[in-house]
Amino acid sequence: MRKLSYYSLLLLVPAAILVWSSCSKDKLRSKPSIKLSSISTRELPSQNDPHLIVTFDYADKEGDVGGERALWVKKTYLNERQTTLHEPDSFSLGVPVPTVPRQDGQIEAHMRASILHMALDPGNPAQPDTINLRFVLRDAGGNTSDTLDAGTVVVIR
């Protein structure tokens, strides 16, 4: 009787370990995810056309993030006084393709003040532009992340 119990345990323990390890959930998905890591400044002077640097953390199951049009940026003009705006209100940025596919990492987006600047206001050139920035990351398979709202940036003219 005792031998039967030992054999039962010898069979049940490895079977339980196998079931437990096969049920672990993979947290990475084919749809990339992005999270805001840092933003260089919230107020950007337009003199000398400086860069705004936005850093993201990303994760992607296949590790195929990167390419010429991988990061989409949407600008929304928030000034109370409406004026004629530069077009377009969205653009794409290239993301360097890693030499070895990575499932997670960081992306730095460099944007000049002249790209972010939106208002065409010859009557009041000193009015700063308050702009909300949103980002979407796209991988080589065409999968897109959820939209990341990075908040507002003010371009001071």
Bridging pattern class, strands 148-156 and 43-45: parallel
CB of 88 within 8 A of CB of 75?
Answer: no
pLDDT number for residue 38: 96
pLDDT in tens, 2-46: 555 666 656 666 666 655 555 545 577 889 999 999 999 999 998
- Residue 140: closest CA among 39, 38, 30, 7: 30
* Cα–Cα distance for residue pair 75/8, rounded to 1 Å: 65
pLDDT in tens, 97-151: 777 788 899 999 999 988 887 766 666 666 788 899 999 999 988 999 999 999 9
Q: Where are the domains of the chain?
A: 33-156
pLDDT number for residue 23: 52
pLDDT number for residue 24: 46
Q: Is the dihedral of CA 56, 49, 76, 66 positive or negative?
A: negative
Residue 90 has pLDDT above 70, yes or no: yes
Q: Domain 33-156 has what CATH class? A: mainly beta
Of residues 88 and 73, the one with the higher pLDDT is 73
CB of 135 within 8 A of CB of 150?
Answer: yes
- In the sheet that holds 51-59, the strands lie side by side as 33-39, 51-59, 104-112
Q: How many residues does the chain have?
A: 157
- Phi, psi (deg, nearest 5) at residue 35: -140, 135
- In the sheet that holds 90-95, the strands lie side by side as 43-45, 148-156, 129-137, 67-77, 90-95
